[in-house]
Structure 1
C-alpha cells in the first residue's frame, strides 16, 4: 500500500516537471515511465478492492431482491390486512348486533323493574299518607282538647286573679281610708297637744315670773339689810359697798334674765320641732 502512494507521488512529480505545449494547457510526459508507475500502482493495490467491488455488486443484487421481497410482503400484508379488516367489520357488526339485543333486553328488564318499583313506591307513599293523615287527625284532636283545657284553666286563673285583684284593691282602698282617718286624728291630737303645750308654757312662764319677782324682792331686801349692816360696821366703806352691791345686782339680774329668756324659748323650739316632724 505504501508503494501506491510513492507511485502516485512520482506521477505527480512527472506531470509537474513535464514540458508544456503552448498555447494549450497540455504537456509532454514520458510514456514508458508513466506506464511503469501505473503498473506498479496496479500491482500494489490489495486484492480487497476487488473483493469490495464484488461486495458492492452483490449489495446491489441484495438491495434489488430486498426491494422485490418488500414489495411482495407489503402487497401480501395489504391483502391480509384488507381481509382481516373485512372479517373484523363482520365480527364487529355481529358483536354490535348482539350488544344491541342485549341492551334492549336489559332496558326492557330495567323498565319493567322500574315500573314495579314505582308501583311499590306509590303504594308505600299512599299507605304512608293515610297513616300520616290518621296520625295528624289524632294529634290534632288531642291538641285541640289540650288547648281547650288550657284555655279553660287560663280563664279560671284569670277570673281568680281578677277577683283577688279586686278584693286587694278594695282592701287597699279601705286601708287608705283608715290611714287618712288616722292621719286626721293624729293631726287633731297633735294640735290638741300643741294647744296644751302652749297653755302649759304660759302657766310655767307665769309661775316662773312670779317666783323670779318674789326672789328679786327677797334678794333686794337681803342686799339692803346687808348693806345697812356693813355701813354700820364700816362707815368709810359705804360708797364702795353701794357700788359693788349695785354691780353684783346688775350682773345677777342679767344672768337671771338670760336664763329666763332661754327657758321661755325652749318650749317654743320644741313645739317647732314637733310641727316639722308632724309635717314630714
Structure 2
C-alpha cells in the first residue's frame, strides 16, 4: 500500500485518500457500523503522513510567503505607478495652469500694447494735423501776401504810376546846349 520508493512522490492528500480507501475496504463487523482494520497498518500510514506533513506544510508556507512577496511587490509597484501618475497629473495640471496664466498675461500685454499704439497713433495724428494746419495758415498768409503784391503790381500798371525810369527820362530830355 505504501508507494514511497522515491520514484513517485505521494502527497498528503493521496495518503488521506489511501487511508479512506483502506478503511472502506476493511471487513465490516456484522450487525454494526464498525469494521475490522489492522491497527498497526493504520498507525503506520498516519505516522508516514505525520512525517511528510511538516515538509508539505513548510512548502505550502514557503509558497504562501512567496505569494505574499509577489503580492507585496505588485502592491508596491501599483502604488509607485499611482504616485507617478498623480505626480504627472499634477505636473500637467500645473503646466496647463501656467500655460493658461501665461496666455492671459500675454493677452493682457497685447491689449495694453495695442491701446498704447493707438494712443501714440492718435497723438501723432493730432501733432501732424496741428503742424499741417499751422503750415496751411502760413501758406495762406504767404499766398495772400503774393496775391496782394500781384494785385498792387497790376493796379499800379493800370494807373500808369510806373513812369519812365531815370535812364529813360535822361534819354528823352533834350541835351543841354553849350
| Shorter-normalised TM range | 0.3 to 0.5
Q: TM-score, normalised by structure 2?
A: 0.47
Q: Report which of the two has the higher share of helix.
A: 1
Structure 1 or 2, whichever has the larger Rg, is 1
Question: TM-score scaled by structure 1?
Answer: 0.32
